[in-house]
Amino acid sequence: MTAAHYEGKNNSLEMMEQYFTNQPVASAEERTRITLSLAGKELILEGAEGVFSARHLDKATAVLLASAPTPPAAGTFLDLGCGWGPLAISLGLLSPSAQVLAVDVSERARDLTRTNAQRAGVSIQVGTPEEILATTKAAGGVDLIWSNPPVRIGKKALQELLLTWLPLLKSGGEAILVMGKNLGADSMQKWLCAQGYPTRRLASKKGFRLLSVSPA
């Protein structure tokens, strides 16, 4: 994929900004404690109001973590829409030799992911969409994407989001997406296939679909 293609996707990044309020870093008083197990490790992490699922691990992310194939031992992995970081941290714990990237439009979310990664003892590079796009281009793409994509931004914006990041997949790479059945997971699967990204259902649990997307 050419640099011109990525530059042509700047509109989707601007669209993402329109749907989210980039709240400042959460103060100590605004932070909430989240006790959970990720990749077999018991952790106490932090969330905050204004970041998705601020007080607990959401059901969709839990389905992905329970049902996704074990990631490779090494490679460049991306958590797309990291929130407070459960997917990125899990990738770092499961594959400590991998380069793990985490992206979110919200500075509050990015700060929480940095803090939580430090608490979990994993190395994660957290950045804005522009920063992580630059990093992934320099790395020649990504081997794996994990995402509970932000369906609340709307169908068109979500499609633009996916068409920005899925072209980053290297040959042989894979994107694992979790979406609610009632939020259009099945139609999204058909749409992705129509865009040239072979997509299959890995699991269906608790009203959620786990989708595996291959490079175009």
Nearest to 80 by CA among 127, 21, 23: 127
CATH architecture of 3-213: 3-Layer(aba) Sandwich (3.40)
CA-to-CA distance for 70 and 64, rounded, in angstroms? 11
Element (H, E) at 86: helix 86-94
Domain assignments of the chain as residue spans, ordered by start? 3-213
Judged against a pLDDT cut of 70, whether residue 132 lies above it is answered with: yes
pLDDT at position 11, please?
46
Output the six-digit token pair for 121: 């003892």
Q: What is the C-alpha radius of gyration for the chain, rounded to an integer number of angstroms?
A: 16
Question: Average of pLDDT values for 142-157?
Answer: 95
Angle (deg, nearest 10), helices 10-19 and 155-165? 140
Nearest to 54 by CA among 76, 85, 24: 85
Judged against a pLDDT cut of 80, whether residue 1 lies above it is answered with: no
CA-to-CA distance for 40 and 12, rounded, in angstroms? 36
> Which amino acid is present at 113?
T
Residue-wise pLDDT tens digits, 6-56: 344 444 444 344 334 567 899 988 999 999 999 999 999 999 999 999 999
CA-to-CA distance for 25 and 163, rounded, in angstroms? 29
Residue 156, burial from CB neighbour count under 10 angstroms (0-12, 13-18, 19+) = exposed
Mean pLDDT of all residues in the chain? 91
